[in-house]
């Protein structure tokens, strides 16, 4: 298995990168990945994305230790495990909102989370907000017309009822190559130099194309190539995770 990660502040963001990535194991044969994108129109949006990432890590660690020392009598399906992780993030945001007296604009972040069973090649993905993913060579876009339905809007609701309404999910069997990216993947523009490639082709180049797959720094190399050869750079923050199974 090869894991590629890329995170870069966009040219139009002066102070902070508002995106975040998470990659961590969940036991021996499972992997949790996520990309988060703080809302630029929110307040301290880099904080919201970072907080969401920390809460996801906490939820994953708690789940792993609980299974290690107090295993359930019946194993859960991958969709059920993903729901438990998202519940941990949901309740974590609610707790931090109350503890720090945070307003909703301070908690606005998209969350694209992947739970991958590497032994069974099974993947479960949930996108809360805008995102682009690729599964086995197929690009899939989740778009909410730049009006993401942020998790933070629903912290006063019952979690189970809210989760049941989520439709931006993917359940993948026979997974061999899966990528997830924030909407910054579509922000590559010719800031300097000739524009020799269409921005629409960037997502395919980074999330699907297998050239340089043998290089651990594949994504970084391809982004530099886009800048040097095509004059394209990300104007918005961009976070990418790509996992290829042998």
pLDDT value of position 138: 95
The contacts of residue 80 (CB under 8 Å, 6+ apart) are: none
pLDDT beyond 70 at 177: yes
Q: Please answer whether residues 63 and 26 qualify as being in contact, where contact means their C-beta atoms are separated by less than 8 angstroms.
A: yes
Taking only the tens place, the pLDDT of each residue in 34-56 is: 999 999 888 888 999 999 999 99
Rounded mean pLDDT of 1-18?
92
**Among positive and negative, which fits the CA dihedral 18, 43, 108, 158?**
positive
Structure tokens at 25: 């194991």
CATH annotation of 2-244:
3.60.40.10
pLDDT value of position 73: 58
**Among positive and negative, which fits the CA dihedral 116, 223, 138, 182?**
positive
pLDDT value of position 67: 80
In which residue are the tokens 């359930």 written? Answer: 72
pLDDT value of position 27: 87
Q: Quote the DSSP letter at residue 191.
A: S
pLDDT value of position 196: 54
The contacts of residue 189 (CB under 8 Å, 6+ apart) are: 11, 199, 232, 233, 235
pLDDT value of position 194: 56
pLDDT value of position 145: 72
244 or 143, greater pLDDT: 244
Taking only the tens place, the pLDDT of each residue in 135-173 is: 999 999 998 776 789 999 999 999 999 999 999 999 999
Mean pLDDT score across all residues of the chain: 92
Structure tokens at 115: 């739970």
Give the C-alpha separation, 42 to 107, whole Å.
Answer: 8
pLDDT value of position 105: 95
Q: What are the phi and psi torsion angles at 164 (to 5°)?
A: -65, -20
Angle between helices 78-100 and 45-69 (to 10 degrees): 130
Give the C-alpha separation, 138 to 136, whole Å.
Answer: 6
User: Residue by residue, what is the 3-state secondary structure of 30-81?
Assistant: EEEEEEEEECCCCCCHHHHHHHHHHHHHHHHHHHHHHHHHCCCCCCCCHHHH
pLDDT value of position 135: 97
Taking only the tens place, the pLDDT of each residue in 87-142 is: 999 999 999 999 999 999 999 999 999 999 999 999 999 999 999 999 999 999 99
Taking only the tens place, the pLDDT of each residue in 189-226 is: 887 655 555 656 899 999 999 999 999 999 999 999 99
DSSP-based three-state secondary structure for 102: coil
Q: Quote the DSSP letter at residue 136.
A: T
pLDDT value of position 4: 98
């Amino acid at each position: 298995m090869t894991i590629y990660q890329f995170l870069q502040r966009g040219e139009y963001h002066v102070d902070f990168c508002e995106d975040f990535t998470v990659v961590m194991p969940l036991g021996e044969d499972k992997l949790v990945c996520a990309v988060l994108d703080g809302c630029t129109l929110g307040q301290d949006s880099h904080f919201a994305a970072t907080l969401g990432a920390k809460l996801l890590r906490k939820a994953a660690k708690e789940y792993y230790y609980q299974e290690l020392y107090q295993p359930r009598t019946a194993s859960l399906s991958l969709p059920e495990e993903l729901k438990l992780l998202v519940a941990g993030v949901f309740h974590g945001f609610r707790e931090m909102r109350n503890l720090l007296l945070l307003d909703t604009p301070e908690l606005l972040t998209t969350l694209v989370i992947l739970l991958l069973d590497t032994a069974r090649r099974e993947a479960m993905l949930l996108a809360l907000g805008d995102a682009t993913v690729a599964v086995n060579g197929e690009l899939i876009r989740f778009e909410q017309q730049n009006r993401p339905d942020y998790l933070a809007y629903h912290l006063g609701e019952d979690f189970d009822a809210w989760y049941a309404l989520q439709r931006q999910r993917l359940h993948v069997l026979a997974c061999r190559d899966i990528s997830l990216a924030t909407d910054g993947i579509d922000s590559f523009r010719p800031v300097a130099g000739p524009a020799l490639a269409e921005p629409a082709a960037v997502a395919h180049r980074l999330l699907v194309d297998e050239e340089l797959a043998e290089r651990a720094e594949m994504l970084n190399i391809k982004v530099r190539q886009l800048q040097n050869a095509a004059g394209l750079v990300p104007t918005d923050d961009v976070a990418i995770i790509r996992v290829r199974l042998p």
